[in-house]
Amino acid sequence: MESALYVALSAQVALSNRLETVSRNVANMNTAGYRADEVKFAELISKAGQDEVSFATGGEIYISRQGGSLNKTDNALDIAVEGDAWFAIRDVNGNVSYTRDGRLEITQDGMVRTVTGQQILGTGGQPITLDPEAGSPLITQSGEISQGEAGVVGQIGLFLIPAEANLTRRENSAVVPDLPAIPVQNFDRNGVRQGYVEGSNINPVREMTKLIMISRAFESATKMIDNSNESQEKAIRELGATS
């Protein structure tokens, strides 16, 4: 009976973690370039008694890398990634992270930044500057930037994050990998698309379906706990009456 209680409790812990990820996903479904949280569960086997008992782990949270939809804006300072690459950005403290949010702006001093204030970096990790008075830039698939009569004035960097790298979230939709990102050299499978913004990779209908399933599973685990408690109370009453 105690095993059933502990199994149900482990299930509730796992479901609580899953509910938190769904809540974050729903809250960020309109965040440009956002990558959904997913949970990977595992089974723990205990053999403390005569029979093996299976428990659920709390769940390992990871960031999904599935791409989001590309939404056309026709804004020359909106760019999106085609493929699996990422843009590199640097904050005011010099910390580098990676994002799929390519909404850019040119400051008065010509620095190209994201709409959240980070510098967008070139292929060598350098900041990019443009002439604020030279008109809208033209950005090619390889990230090369042309402006007015000056020709090519810079190149936006694209970077591949190793598949085995673990990602940690940063501000907005940015991430930091625990392995070095690799600059893209070949633009056949990865490139820049000007005039587009990538949306989140969150499917609202799927997330609401998950929410319903989690709620029902939580209710089942709660009912299992209640039944276990009732069985223990009944056993105590009956054994106490015959002793």
Q: How many domains does the chain have?
A: 2
Q: Are 118 and 147 in contact (CB under 8 A)?
A: no
Tell me what pLDDT residue 127 has.
95
Q: Are 86 and 143 in contact (CB under 8 A)?
A: no
Query: Do 165 and 181 have their domain in common?
Result: yes
Q: Could you tell me which residue, 40 or 63, shows the higher pLDDT?
A: 63
183/215 same-domain check: no
| Predicted local confidence at residue 38, as pLDDT | 87
Cα 214 to Cα 210: distance, rounded to the nearest angstrom: 6
The helix or strand, by DSSP H or E, that contains position 51, with its residue range, turns out to be: none
**79/102 same-domain check:** yes
Token output for 108: 């008065």
pLDDT in tens, 171-197: 889 999 999 999 999 999 999 999 999
Distance (Å, rounded) from C-alpha 202 to C-alpha 238? Answer: 53
Amino acid letter, residue 25:
N
> Domain range for residue 98?
70-198
Reply yes or no on whether the pLDDT at 17 is more than 60. yes
pLDDT at 45: 47
Tokens of 129: 């500057």
